[in-house]
Structure formats: C-alpha cells, structure tokens
C-alpha cells in the first residue's frame, strides 16, 4: 500500500457552518442573530437549493408538487456549539414569531438580544416555540468571532459561498468601526434610524459597514455628543431629585463610553 499521502490527512474534515432547524435535537436551543437577515424564496432541484430575492419570485416552481417556500437566512451565534453558523429558516411558525419580534417596539433589532427556540416532537408533529431573552450586550466572544469570520449572505441568492465571496467594503468603514459606532449609539433609536435611513435611501445599502468612510467620523462625533447630552440630562435630573452626586458630567460621561480597543 502506498504511503505517499500527507500525514494527518484522515483528520481533515470540511466543516459546513450551516444549521438546519429540522435536524436539531428536541429541546432548547439558544442563538444570537449577529447581523440583519436576508430573505426570499427557495426551492430544491436535484439536491441543490435555488434561492431568489423577495421581488424575484418565479411564476412557477421546478416541481408543481413542491411550491416555492419563503426563507430567512440568519447568521447566528450558537451558544451550544460556541460558533457562528448560517441557519436557513423556512418553518412558518418560526418566521411568524421572528417577524412579530422584529416589528415590536420593545424587541426590534435581533442583534440586541438572544433567541430561544424550543423544538418539540418529530416528523410532521414537530413544533417550534420561539421566545426572546431580555436585552444584553453582545459578549466579546461573539464580537471577536464575527470580526474573524464575516459573511456576505447575499451570495446565497447566486448559489455562492457566503464566506468565500465576502469582500471587505474598501470604500466604507471596517467591521470593527461599525461595531464601535453601533455600541456608541446604544439605545439612541432616533439617531440609529436617521443614519440607516440615509444610507438606504441614498443607495449605500443596509448597515453601518456601508457607510462612506468620510461620513464615519461625523457620525461618531454626533453619537458622542448625543451620549454626552443624555448623561448631562440624567445628572441634572438626579440633582433635581436632591440626590448627592459626587461625580461631575465628564466623569459620568467617560464611565458610560464604550471602549473602542475592547471590542
């Protein structure tokens, strides 16, 4: 027998970082959606998926007995596996629940809280129960993993590789800068909506990473000033209530600022 193969080749395995809800074990599963999902229509032919953008639904499917199905593609952190995965969701109950949470004024942005999915039963009797976990900051482990392994979910529409087809936005901001701006804005929903609305309406796309590089420092300055104004208002409110405040506005503001180097 020839022994010309490289040592250790048996250990090499191709890892497909995809999760199928239908293949999850029964029980509770917790995820954090780490970026805006993509959605559309999906159908299968010869074991290969064909995905279409929402507005590009074909008039008919390959198989009349298997109609096209709506799908969401979500990039998630799986707490059990401690890694980032793409999960394609076609289950109507899960999509309905996520849509409701995404529209809700209290919950909204999926990246701000975890999602629990409880799977019960099997086969045609399978049920999924979706519930949100109270808001909390994305932990450093997830942020660091996202910076190491960004994806381009749009590649799924063209049958591409979301990891291999990812190209940094050279004319925009880095992912680290986008994450810092997101933390800096915090719960200032008005500023967040204004920035994202401007980017989308002017053809830059969704997300802070699509922001022109010359716009970024202006938005950081604006978000910083807004945060300082809120800190000053809070301090004045505490003084008005007669509380003994030992710190000044600058100290209070500095303590609430996110650390750019710690992302």
For the stretch 13-67, pLDDT in tens is 445 589 999 999 999 999 999 988 999 999 998 889 999 999 999 888 888 888 8
Alpha-carbon 63 to chain mean position: 33
Query: Beta strands 115-120 and 18-20: pairing type?
Result: unpaired
At 129-164, the pLDDT tens digits run: 999 999 998 888 888 888 778 788 888 998 888 887
Cα separations in angstroms, 188 against 110, 152, 179, 223: 16, 27, 15, 8
Instruction: Tell me if residue 44 falls in helix, strand or coil.
Output: strand
Q: Which residues make Cβ contacts (< 8 Å) with residue 121, sequence separation at least 6?
A: 26, 127
If one counts every other C-beta atom within 10 angstroms of the C-beta of residue 172, the result is 21
Q: Between the CA atoms of 130, 135, 137 and 141, what dihedral angle is there, to the nearest 10 degrees?
A: -20
At 230-240, the pLDDT tens digits run: 888 887 887 77
Rounded distance between C-alpha atoms, residue 260 and residue 262, angstroms: 6
Domains of the chain: 13-167 (2.40.50), 169-263 (no CATH)
First to last CA, the chain: 52
């Amino acid at each position: 027998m020839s022994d010309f193969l490289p040592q250790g080749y048996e250990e090499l395995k191709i890892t497909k970082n995809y999760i199928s809800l239908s293949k999850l074990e029964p029980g509770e599963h917790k995820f954090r959606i780490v970026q805006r999902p993509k959605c559309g229509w999906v159908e299968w032919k010869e074991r290969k998926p064909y995905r279409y953008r929402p507005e590009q639904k074909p008039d008919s499917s390959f198989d009349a007995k298997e109609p096209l199905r709506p799908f969401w593609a979500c990039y998630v952190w799986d707490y059990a596996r401690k890694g980032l995965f793409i999960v394609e969701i076609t289950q109507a109950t899960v999509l309905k629940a996520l849509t409701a949470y995404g529209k809700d004024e209290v919950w909204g942005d999926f990246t701000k809280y975890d999602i629990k999915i409880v799977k019960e039963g099997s086969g045609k009797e399978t049920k999924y129960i979706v519930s949100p976990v109270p808001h909390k900051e994305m932990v450093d482990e997830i942020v660091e993993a996202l910076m190491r392994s960004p994806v381009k979910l749009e590649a799924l529409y063209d049958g591409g590789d979301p990891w291999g087809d990812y190209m940094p936005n050279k004319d925009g901001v880095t992912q680290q800068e986008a994450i810092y701006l997101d933390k800096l804005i915090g719960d200032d929903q008005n500023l967040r909506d204004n920035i994202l609305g401007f980017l989308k309406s002017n053809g830059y796309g969704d997300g802070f990473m699509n922001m022109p590089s010359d716009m970024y420092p202006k938005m950081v300055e604006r978000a910083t000033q807004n945060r300082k104004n809120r800190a000053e208002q809070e301090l004045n409110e505490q003084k008005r209530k007669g509380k003994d405040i030992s710190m000044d506005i600058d100290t209070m503001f500095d303590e609430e600022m996110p650390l750019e180097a710690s992302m």
